[in-house]
Amino acid sequence: MSRSVNRTLMTVPPRLKRATRPPRGVSPLIADLERAAAEGNTDTEAFWERVERTGTPVVGELDEQGRRTATFLWRGGDELADVILTADRIAAADSYERNRMERIPGTDVWHLTYLMRSDWRASYGVAPVPADGTPAPENALSATTRTRRERALALSDPEDRPAVARWFDALAHVRPDPRAREALDEHHSVVSLPEAPPELRHDPDAPSGTLTRHTLASERLGNTRDVWIHRPAREPVDGTWPVAILLDGRTWHDLPLAPLLDGLIADGTLPPMLTVMVDSLDPATRTRELACHDPFVDFLDTELLPWLAELHPITDDPGRTLIAGQSLGGLTALYAALRLPGCFGRVLSQSGSYWWPNPAVTGGETERMVRLVREADALPERVHLSAGLHEWALLGANGRVHEALLERGRELGLPGDFASFTEYNGGHDKACWRADLPHGLIALTEDHAR
């Protein structure tokens, strides 16, 4: 097997026993509607008018165990064969069946209710599957989802592959919930139960900074990518800009992140800083470059930062230079800081893929970052890790990296709180990362001049 294939397979998560699926709950609202339908009353206009007023999902009262029901809804009739909820995105043989909404007979109400701890947050979509078999538009699946499909089918047992394929076929029909209270992007909505950590919102009256798009060619990597630079309206106190590098930059640019940064910097919650959003190109390139790939780290050090310094007066203080990433990006953010302690002194790692590499490919080695931290001659000044309780493939690994950081930090004389770890009630999810990112940035820059 070639080295390049080996490295690709190293970034496929190990097949760990999956976590328990979200438990089903019972919604009194649906129970009332089912009783009425059973008695012959199938008029749902008043029901849908109520739903339009409250938004979806419909959230129940807090129970004695700190849980609430979240009832997801879709309106449709016989033109639909199924309606699939994608709040639980596990690609497994039973995914399609586990995520099917039920239809109240004789009505246009499709529903599925979860019983969740009341601080749950997740992005979700709804996939109405046509009864006549009409296919989804060509290329309806994103490049990332197509890659996930290929990997899931390759790793599935042969007898399970048709069921896994059916799940991904349904994903091609996903669209946002038209009645959702919160939105994520053009394909997904967001559910945040009342006790979920509050998400910071942008101030529409804050002075806008500038957001510029650049094209940066790398001799080291042999490719060219987009880089977006956000420069806030407020100038830095000493005339030199602190820098925050965000990997998977297109995600944050498209969110968009810039208006939120404008508001947080305007009111002093964040210090004035340049935020540099670095595109990851395509899934194959991302998989290669964001897996402790030394040429990519060299690109950040010898090409990206010098190029940025030609455009803006930036700091050379590692304590004012932050790098952030999610998933493989979170892994790479910490790896870059370990490789270049004189460059990156602050690290924000969300859902870091610290299970890396896959032991099936490396002959047994996994969670390499724990060893790298324990062997490091220097550590970043501050590290903020976060991971979701529903990320069973990496939650434990994140905890072990945190423990290794604290242990090595004590040996190197760092303060006991230099590395923090937050566990949130969610999954491997942009909705959770969006909510957590500002808090991580705040924690890592609290000692910076405002």
Give dist(CA 381, CA 346) in Å, integer: 6
Rg of the chain in Å (alpha carbons): 23
Beta bridge partners, 211, equal 230
Q: What region, left, alpha or beta, does residue 40 occupy, with left being phi > 0 and alpha being psi -120 to 50 degrees?
A: left
* pTM (whole model) above 0.85: yes
Q: How many domains does the chain have?
A: 2
Say which CATH number the domain at 251 has. 3.40.50.1820
Q: Is residue 417 part of a domain?
A: yes
Q: Are residues 175 and 299 in the same domain?
A: no
pLDDT in tens, 222-259: 999 999 999 999 999 899 999 999 999 999 999 999 99
Domain ranges, residue 96:
3-192
* Among candidate residues 50, 435, 33, the one with its CA nearest the CA of residue 58: 50
Q: Is the pLDDT of residue 54 over 90?
A: yes
Coil, helix or strand at residue 399: helix
Q: What integer is the mean pLDDT of 160-174? A: 94
Q: What integer is the mean pLDDT of 358-369? A: 82
Q: Is residue 199 part of a domain?
A: no
Q: What interhelical angle do 395-411 and 368-375 show, nearest 10? A: 10
End-to-end alpha-carbon separation of the chain, Å?
Answer: 53
Say which CATH number the domain at 164 has. 2.60.40.10
Q: Are residues 380 and 323 in the same domain?
A: yes
Q: Which H/E stretch holds residue 212?
A: strand 210-218
pLDDT in tens, 255-308: 999 999 999 999 999 999 999 999 999 999 999 999 999 999 999 999 999 999
Q: Is the pLDDT of residue 7 over 70?
A: no
Q: Is residue 205 part of a domain?
A: no
Respond yes or no on whether the N-terminal peptide bond of residue 158 is cis (omega within 30° of 0).
no
Mean pLDDT rounded to a whole number for the chain: 93
pLDDT-derived band of residue 21, with 50, 70 and 90 as boundaries? confident
Q: Are residues 137 and 19 in the same domain?
A: yes
Give dist(CA 420, CA 436) in Å, integer: 13
Q: Are residues 403 and 305 in the same domain?
A: yes
Q: Is the pLDDT of residue 156 over 80?
A: yes
Q: Are residues 91 and 226 in the same domain?
A: no
Q: Are residues 334 and 436 in the same domain?
A: yes
Give dist(CA 56, CA 72) in Å, integer: 6
Q: Is residue 203 part of a domain?
A: no
